[in-house]
Each structure stands twice: as C-alpha cells, then as structure tokens.
Structure 1
C-alpha cells in the first residue's frame, strides 16, 4: 500500500512519541510526509529518540502529561489522527505501583479520548496489550476470547478497550485498538528496572554478564518486531473500510518462541560480533508474578480486515535488532 499518498500533509499526534514504539512511529510518519506532533512527559521516553526530528519543519514537540486534560486538549487541536502510545508499561511496575499505572493508563487514556472527540479527530489508534488475555489458556489467542486479567497493568489496558467501545456507541467516535505482543527492536531501552527482556539480555551479553531467565525458560512469547507494529498502526490509520474500525487486533507475528530459545539465539547472533559472548552462561531464577505462561496470537482478523502481512519473523527481527544495538550501544 502507498501510505504516503494517504498520509502526506496529514496532522498526526503521537502520544508517548519519545518512547520506543512512539519514536519509531514518528520517524516513519515523517518519512511519509505527515506533520507529526509528539506529546511526551519523558517519564519513560528519551529525548535522544526524537532529537533527530527537532529540525524537521513538520515536527512539533509538546512536553506534557496525558493526566492533564488541558494538555491533551491543546495537543489534539487541528489533528487528523491520534496514535496513542503513552502509557506506563510493565506488569511488575503495575504490581509495585498500581495507583500510578491506573492514573496514567486509564485516566490519561480517558483524557485523550475526550480531547480527540472534542477536537474532531477522525480516528484514534491506541496501544492495547496482549496482557488482556489474562488467564485464558486457549492458543492461539483470538480477539473475542479473553480471560481474567493477571495484573493491574492488564486491567488498565482492558479498561481502555471498554472505554473505546463506549465512545463509539455513545459519541460515534472511531478508534482502533492494537493488542501488542512482546514488541522488540531498535530504540528499545535496555536499561532500568522494568526493561523488556530482549534489550536487557542484549546489553548484559554485550557486557559478558549472565542474563537470568525467570523460570525454566519454557514459557513462550509471540515476539513481534517493531516494523510489523509500524505497519499495523499505518494500516489502522488509513483504512477506509467501516467494518475495520472500532475493533481490536492482535499485533503479532503468529508464531511463538520460548524464552530459552530466544536467549540462545541472542548469544548466537551477538557472538558473530564478539566470540566470547558464546561462552556466557544463561542463569535461571524464580517465575515472575503476573507472567502468562504462553502467548501466541492469531493474526487472521488483522489479515482479513486490515490486509496485514508481517514483514519480519522473529529470527529476522532479532538479527536486525542485534545489529542496531551493537552499532549504537557498544
């Protein structure tokens, strides 16, 4: 699809645009000729992620918090679309501090819905989460079958979906929710207490430190490379099919990899740059609270309604991610 013809000179607001996913989306939108406004409070995002865009005439930065309704209203003014990526991610973070996670992920989300509706935004595409599937044991995960949430974070992301549905029914405001499955890739932060597993393991291996797997490593994930996520967001923005709107979609590859295999593949790829990494031992620790044992998405709905076709399987994405980390962080 020629996304540029549909996005050139459109005004797009990316909340959380200094974060991992948000900054990658911002970069792609600018490449396609869109005028991009980023709203971020830099609580988890980084200025270096958006620094290259500051000189772009079509780029605007608003430093602010989605918990402030006035800030949200100002940011939504004159926007055609909103890509809502701002959130406090991480299951462990939400377990340690459920109140703040709720304030940002639920209160902030509602502020953005109201602001986008009042500003006449055409559509809001938002980051949902595979954590919504909770204790449902069925595989692959299909959008219509979920279980009970296993963490405060999962609750917040499910509430987002409920609010989006109500805003369509009550105000005829269009949204699309994307249930992200373990997204990884360039610009993902390897540091901090709540770093995602792949960048965390990468930086540890690069430093010849032993990564620790929670459990025996047999838990599995539908690891999803950032380029697949970008594609889903773009397709959700530009689709002109009414039946594709006001839906939630799995945003994944449709395949799963065990944590143990992921770690071994990381060692293999990184040892091509530094042979000593091949000898670093992988350790094991206790299973983490709130972790879902297995995650595998059905992407049939996204294929059918959004014409989604993943461009990167796990191994391809991991290879590209490792190359980016080695070039930028070594």
Structure 2
C-alpha cells in the first residue's frame, strides 16, 4: 500500500519513540517518504543507528537521543509535535521475567512520562504499541479485544497497564489515544542477535549458518505472525482516522491466521533453500517450553477492519518472501 493510498497529510509533524528500533525505524522511513517532519526519539538501548542512518541527511528527519524514563527528555521530544507514535519499550517475555524492574521502569513509568508530555504539549493524537500478551491465559480463539485473561509475565502486565493509563488520560484529559495490540511482528530490520531475539530472524540466522534452529516445546505452539508492512499501515490509519468511534480504544493488529512453529520452520527452509540448497536438509532441535509462553495466538482483526479500514496486504508467506530476501542481503 502506497503513501498516497494511506492518505495521511504530509504537513503534520510526527514523533516516533523507539524510532531506531525495528518497528519504529520502518515507521520513520514511511513517514519521511510521505513528506512528514519526523522526530526519531531513542536511547539506543535496543535500537540501532544503522536502522536510520540513511535518513540522517534528509531535511525532514531529526534524531533526538533521549530516554523515556526522563520526563524532561519526553517534554523536549513532544514540543511542537502534532502526533506521537509511541513504540519505545523493552520487549520480550523472558527479559521481563529476568529483570522485571527495568521492564516496569521503561514500559510503565516511561509510558506515563510520554502521556504527560504529550498532554502538556497538546499533541493531537497518541498512538501506542500495545501487545497481544495482554490476552494472558485467555484460551478463546480468535482473540477479541474486549475479552482478556490474567497476564502471564511482567511484560504482559506492563502492556496492559499502558492500556489502562491511555484510557484514563482519554477520559480525564480529553486526549485522543489508540492502542495497537501487535501480534508477533516480523520483517526487515528485525534484529536476529541477542538472548531475546524474535523467532523468525533468529531461525533465519541459524539456518543461514547451517545451524539447527531450536524450538521451545514440540513445535505445535502457534502464532499469528504479522508482517511489518501491515503494522505500518495500521499505525498510519490510526493517525489519520476521523471517526470518533475509532478513538480511545485498542485494536488487534495481525493478519488473522495462525501458523505452528514447525510449519514456520518448514516455510523458512523452503524460501532460504532458494539461496542455499543445503538449508533444506537442516534438522530442527527441540528444547523445554519457555516460562510465560502462551500456547496459541490468533487475532480477530474485524474491529480494526471496521473502524480503521485496516486491510493487511501480506500474509505469512508473502511476508516471509520479502523478509528472507532482506535477511539474505543484510545478515552476515
């Protein structure tokens, strides 16, 4: 979907927190191409300068290094900004279990700082990254926005608290907020390295190195994998909607299909073997389940379709084809 089709006016300035991260940098790139003035706000805890280096010389792009845990930094970032796309967070269920204090400081205190700064700067709308982890132990499929369970990790708690704070700021201060519950986003610029890497880039890197990808469990767990182009579309449509009934609520952002980890590995080997035939024969290994993992995840995206006119353009296979091509050219 092109910039013109998404119809977001280019006269607006947009702050992207976590703008050097995976999702944030893709949003920055899209908005810069659309002609918007873009402020990328990042402390580079998980973001990478390489993700935005090609934007640094562009006139309508500005990098502001700072930390959302510092209110003064947030106030500076929000000054003279029309819209906020809040992507800054510490992701990963395992990381939150290992270090719940830092996860809480960034994801809750940092989120609150950004809400306060956006409110005081009279930002037009605050769109933020929510998470499918909010569904917790809810067993029903597909996941519907107003039916959630108990959180299964500190990370899930923080993302649910974000939704509660956004709702209170909407009701109390009249702010326009929209939360986007992402479901297993993947695609270009997603980091394959580190202990908390997402499964798709991690598996790709292992396969490219002729290493056996390791699955936690027996591979039957399933996810609604969501290509980055769909997530960019959802954010821009959340910025541009004029429907009052679309505001001050949360949406599932996914494709609406689930794939087991075993089937994911098979698809990755199929696509990667087009570059290196030896990858086809690499065996998968299996390990213990991870604490806090949800067995199955599948989103209903009907609400986003109805109220945001969200129309995902890439299913898993289409997304993997584009992603694998990018990984092959950019991973060493």
**Which band: TM-score by shorter chain?**
over 0.9
Q: For the residues of structure 2 that align with 1:3 and 1:274, how far apart are their CA atoms?
A: 37
Match of 1:72 in 2: 74
User: Are residues 95 and 166 of structure 1, via their aligned partners in 2, closer, same or farther at CA, if it must alter by over 3 Å?
Assistant: same
Q: For the residues of structure 1 that align with 2:8 and 2:326, how far apart are their CA atoms?
A: 30
CA-to-partner distance for each residue in 1:146-167, whole Å, 9 max, x for gaps?
A: 0000000000000000000000
User: Are residues 210 and 82 of structure 1, via their aligned partners in 2, closer, same or farther at CA, if it must alter by over 3 Å?
Assistant: same
CA-to-partner distance for each residue in 1:251-293, whole Å, 9 max, x for gaps?
A: 0000000011001110111011000111111000000000000
1:149 and 2:151 equivalent? yes
Match of 2:175 in 1: 173
Q: Is the 8 A contact 1:66 1:111 kept in 2?
A: yes
Match of 2:100 in 1: 98
Q: For the residues of structure 2 that align with 1:221 and 1:163, how far apart are their CA atoms?
A: 27
Match of 2:308 in 1: 306
1:186 and 2:197 equivalent? no
Q: How does 1:200-239 map to 2 (within 5 A)?
A: 200-239=202-241
- Provide the TM-score with structure 1 as the length reference: 0.99
User: Are residues 174 and 272 of structure 1, via their aligned partners in 2, closer, same or farther at CA, if it must alter by over 3 Å?
Assistant: same
Q: For the residues of structure 2 that align with 1:60 and 1:104, how far apart are their CA atoms?
A: 23
What RMSD over aligned residues (CA atoms) do the two structures have, in Å? 0.9
Q: For the residues of structure 1 that align with 2:263 and 2:275, how far apart are their CA atoms?
A: 19
Unaligned runs of 5+ in 2: none
1:246 and 2:242 equivalent? no
Q: Aligned pair count? A: 330
Q: Is the 8 A contact 1:4 1:33 kept in 2?
A: no
- Provide the TM-score with structure 2 as the length reference: 0.98
1:6 and 2:8 equivalent? yes
**CA shift at 1:3, angstroms?**
5.6
Q: For the residues of structure 2 that align with 1:297 and 1:109, how far apart are their CA atoms?
A: 25
**CA shift at 1:4, angstroms?**
6.9
Q: Is the 8 A contact 2:252 2:300 kept in 1?
A: yes
**CA shift at 1:7, angstroms?**
2.6
Q: For the residues of structure 2 that align with 1:281 and 1:3, how far apart are their CA atoms?
A: 43
Q: Is the 8 A contact 1:3 1:32 kept in 2?
A: no
Three-state SS of the structure 1 residue aligned to 2:252 is strand
Q: Is the 8 A contact 2:25 2:51 kept in 1?
A: yes
Three-state SS of the structure 2 residue aligned to 1:326 is helix
Q: Is the 8 A contact 1:3 1:234 kept in 2?
A: no
**CA shift at 1:6, angstroms?**
3.2
Q: Is the 8 A contact 2:13 2:82 kept in 1?
A: yes
Q: For the residues of structure 1 that align with 2:164 and 2:223, how far apart are their CA atoms?
A: 25
Match of 1:25 in 2: 27
Q: For the residues of structure 2 that align with 1:219 and 1:141, how far apart are their CA atoms?
A: 16
Q: For the residues of structure 2 that align with 1:186 and 1:61, how far apart are their CA atoms?
A: 20
Segments of 4+ moved more than 4 angstroms: none
Three-state SS of the structure 1 residue aligned to 2:286 is strand
Three-state SS of the structure 2 residue aligned to 1:187 is coil
Q: For the residues of structure 2 that align with 1:112 and 1:3, how far apart are their CA atoms?
A: 30
Unaligned runs of 5+ in 1: none
Q: Is the 8 A contact 1:4 1:32 kept in 2?
A: no
Q: How does 1:81-120 map to 2 (within 5 A)?
A: 81-120=83-122
